[in-house]
Amino acid sequence: MGSSREREGKSTPSLRTIVRIHRPTPELPQHLEALYRDFPFERSLAEDPISSIRPFTHDTRSAEVLGILAATLAIGNTTAIRGSLARLMALTAGAPEQWLLETPRGARARALRPFRHRWIRGDQVEYLARVLAEYYSSHETLEDAFLEGYLRGGFPGGLDSLVRVLRGDGSRNRNGPPPAGYLHLFPSPLGTPRSPCKRMTLFVRWMVRERYPDLGYWRRVPTGDLRVPLDLHVHWIAYNLGLTTRRTRSWAAVEEVSEALRRIDPIDPIKFDFVLCHTGISGDCPKRRDISVCGPCSVRPDCRMWRGRGVAA
């Protein structure tokens, strides 16, 4: 059976293995609201992918087509994303929705062949246009696809249903097989639970929220049910504010952060996403203690890096 010391050694964790969990302070809701209220939205909008498509959105379909294109390319730094979107817009003679949906397949494929953004290729963009054109031949809006799953399985079910449409499930006999890597562009929280599905949640945020800077064309999905688009910046800040205990991005972390924000604002919890994301992108959060930058920050008293430390730390 072994000695009592051996048994204790197996059952009693070493002090070095104990992880100190950082909990939100009682004042965090007020501090987050202050961060949101005072945030320079106009400064950061110019750095966001949504700024590249807003001038071309005039109805639900144009917002959906350009929104899913911009969200799909939302990988890497914002300068590169906006540059790639600008190159695509330059192909379309000022009418990107019509060009993507109505250009003959061969001409569209030739125009998109040289396109690259990180690991995303022009043939994948062309296939997405093919899938969307077929969908819109018998449907008015992608909101219907989202709602089909949402009514059965909540937000994760809605995202899964939308993903299946964008992957072209059920239409490959007409559109042909997808190009290599295409299906991986659209992860589902039901199929790949470790993925935070950041780009898909970002697209749905754009479509559902009416408040600035989002587009607000979907009216049947409650804002209170949205999930946070958990990019690296949002996750880092959320972890250090105690909104999640998870050190890696995953769908479980998305649910944790979203629920924590929902307790602060049940009606519009994801309004904080743009602010947290661009606090990181802009350098307003230096991700280290720097009083010259962190001093004015509304949430500094809540931050793991400053908790219990004086200004001179």
pLDDT tens per residue across span 98-137? 999 999 999 999 999 999 999 999 999 999 999 999 999 9
**Could you tell me the CA-to-CA distances from 156 to 152, 181, 212 in Å, in that order?**
10, 23, 25
* Percent of the chain clearing pLDDT 90 (strictly above): 85
Q: What pLDDT was estimated at residue 230? A: 98
Indicate the pLDDT class of residue 171, thresholds 50, 70 and 90: confident
- Asked if residue 95 and residue 113 are part of one domain, the reply reads yes
Q: What pLDDT was estimated at residue 172? A: 74
CATH number at residue 231: 1.10.1670
* Percent of the chain clearing pLDDT 70 (strictly above): 91
Instruction: Tell me which of 221, 252, 276 is where a domain ends.
Output: 221
- Asked if residue 128 and residue 185 are part of one domain, the reply reads yes
Q: What is the dihedral of CA 92, 93, 95, 98, to 10 degrees?
A: -50
Domain that holds residue 276: 25-47+223-305
Q: What pLDDT was estimated at residue 21? A: 80
- Asked if residue 262 and residue 165 are part of one domain, the reply reads no
pTM (two decimals):
0.91
- Asked if residue 171 and residue 227 are part of one domain, the reply reads no
Considering the domain boundaries, does residue 241 fall inside one? Answer: yes
Considering the domain boundaries, does residue 297 fall inside one? Answer: yes
Peptide bond into 179 cis (omega under 30): no
Q: What pLDDT was estimated at residue 32? A: 97
Instruction: Tell me which of 221, 246, 272 is where a domain ends.
Output: 221
- Asked if residue 152 and residue 74 are part of one domain, the reply reads yes
- Asked if residue 80 and residue 67 are part of one domain, the reply reads yes
Indicate the pLDDT class of residue 234, thresholds 50, 70 and 90: very high
pLDDT tens per residue across span 60-105: 999 999 999 999 999 999 999 999 999 999 999 899 999 999 999 9
- Token pair of 44 as six digits: 């950061």
pLDDT tens per residue across span 219-231: 999 999 999 999 9
- Asked if residue 133 and residue 30 are part of one domain, the reply reads no
Instruction: Tell me which of 169, 199, 221 is where a domain ends.
Output: 221
Average pLDDT over the chain reads 91
Considering the domain boundaries, does residue 271 fall inside one? Answer: yes
Asked if pLDDT for residue 12 goes beyond 80, the answer is no
Cβ burial of 91 (10 Å; 0-12, 13-18, 19+) is: middle
- Asked if residue 202 and residue 96 are part of one domain, the reply reads yes
Q: What pLDDT was estimated at residue 311? A: 52
- In the chain, the number of structural domains is 2
Q: Taking each helix axis from N to C terminus, what angle separates 142-167 and 122-136, rounded to the nearest 10 degrees?
A: 140
Indicate the pLDDT class of residue 310, thresholds 50, 70 and 90: low
Asked if pLDDT for residue 52 goes beyond 70, the answer is yes
Cβ atoms of residues 67 and 207 within 8 Å: yes
Considering the domain boundaries, does residue 148 fall inside one? Answer: yes
- Asked if residue 213 and residue 86 are part of one domain, the reply reads yes
The residue ranking higher by pLDDT, 8 or 59, is 59
Considering the domain boundaries, does residue 2 fall inside one? Answer: no
Considering the domain boundaries, does residue 201 fall inside one? Answer: yes
Q: What pLDDT was estimated at residue 122? A: 98
Q: What pLDDT was estimated at residue 9? A: 42
Asked if pLDDT for residue 30 goes beyond 60, the answer is yes
